[in-house]
Amino acid sequence: MVERRSPKPEVVGSSPSAPAKPWRVMKNPLKFIQEVKQETFRITWPTKKDTMMGAVMVFALASIAAIFFLILDQILRFLLNIVLTINI
């Protein structure tokens, strides 16, 4: 069963009766910059080890996928050559 909660009244666009306005005008640019700065300090950045492990994993999985598709392509090419060389 899904829990239903009432939307927060201070959040604009949190209910279907008050959709978010994409053209909302920024009133105080200094306050906006200050909030952005505060948010950047809350970010948990990955460590160098995490970044390197992610890069290695992407490279390894891309290599495995390339080898798999190379083998699959060679098998299909071989089968297609057999089918095309059959003379009826």
Give every CB contact of residue 15 below 8 A, 6+ residues apart in sequence.
7
| pLDDT computed for residue 22 by the predictor | 64
H or E segment at 24?
none
Give the separation between CA 29 and CA 33, rounded to whole angstroms: 6
- Type of residue at 59: F
Question: pLDDT tens for residues 16-65?
Answer: 565 566 666 777 889 889 999 999 889 898 999 999 999 999 999 999 99
Please state the domain extents for the chain.
45-88
